[in-house]
Amino acid sequence: MPLKTPEKQRRLGWRWMSAVRRLLLSLLVIVCWPLAAVAQDMPVVVEGQPFAPRVSLAGSELLLNGTGVRAVAWFKGYAAGLYLLERTSSVEQAQALPAPKRLQLRLLHDVPAAELSKAVHKGITRNSNEADRPALEAPLARFEAQINAVGRVRTGDVVDLDLAVDGALRISVNGTLRGSTQPGAALYAALLRSFVGSQPYDERLKAGLLGRSR
């Protein structure tokens, strides 16, 4: 039997190494694929509060667009998550995307619900044109009354502010609907501007909800 030349030996060596690499890559894909799928379903934890990567609302799947924390100096009031039909870092697109939508607040301190309604009133007023404010007065007053009726929210409570496909505005606390639904597409748009508009509650919170930073 003729001896293999050094060149043939090198070629056989490269073929063997290529086969081994392909095998290792295949094994890596097999191992990592389910891990990647699991990672996509892992909650995003902010200040110890978990936000699901996706939620079901009104028969639609919403994606977690971003998260952030409402903070004043050292005081952190709540962690928030914005859920939309598709992810975007654009304020305009977040506003333009159709319902359903969800703003989820997870409380980091016990506070009277009236404090939340005051913040809502201030944020909506500041982010609405003067010409639009008269039309928002009545629905905003009803919305504030629904928040005030909660009485007190406590650390760990989950407040969902939802806009349904039919334009109804709903507030839920720990999964329980509070008060009756009301037409609220215009009010919800103003509410969303309070978080991600030109004069948001918190610039860092705005950036986080738009997925620009976490």
What pLDDT, on the 0 to 100 scale, is given for residue 73? 77
3-state secondary structure (DSSP) of residue 134: helix
Least confident among 1-15, 62-76, 176-190: 1-15
Does the pLDDT value for residue 126 go beyond 90? yes
What pLDDT, on the 0 to 100 scale, is given for residue 34? 45
Does the pLDDT value for residue 10 go beyond 80? no
Strands 158-163, 101-107: pairing is antiparallel
What pLDDT, on the 0 to 100 scale, is given for residue 36? 42
| Range 170-177, long-range pairs (CB < 8 A, 24+ positions) | 171/143, 171/146, 171/147
pLDDT digits (tens, 9 = 90+) for 22-67: 666 555 545 444 444 444 689 999 999 999 999 999 889 999 999 9
pLDDT digits (tens, 9 = 90+) for 69-101: 999 878 899 999 999 999 999 999 999 999 999
8 confidence band (pLDDT: 50, 70, 90): low
8 Å CB contact between 106 and 49: yes
Does the pLDDT value for residue 168 go beyond 60? yes
7 confidence band (pLDDT: 50, 70, 90): low
What pLDDT, on the 0 to 100 scale, is given for residue 32? 44
What pLDDT, on the 0 to 100 scale, is given for residue 135? 92
Mean pLDDT of the chain: 87
| 192/207 Cα distance (integer angstroms) | 13
Regarding pTM above 0.85, the answer is no
What pLDDT, on the 0 to 100 scale, is given for residue 182? 81
44-209: in CATH 3.50.70.10: yes
Least confident among 4-13, 33-42, 129-138, 161-170: 33-42
What pLDDT, on the 0 to 100 scale, is given for residue 164? 93
Does the pLDDT value for residue 212 go beyond 70? yes
Residue 208, burial from CB neighbour count under 10 angstroms (0-12, 13-18, 19+): buried
11 confidence band (pLDDT: 50, 70, 90): low
Q: CA dist 195 to 34, 103, 127, 137, 176, Å?
A: 35, 9, 9, 19, 23
What pLDDT, on the 0 to 100 scale, is given for residue 41? 81
Nearest one of 209, 212, 166 to 65, comparing CA atoms: 209
What pLDDT, on the 0 to 100 scale, is given for residue 13? 60
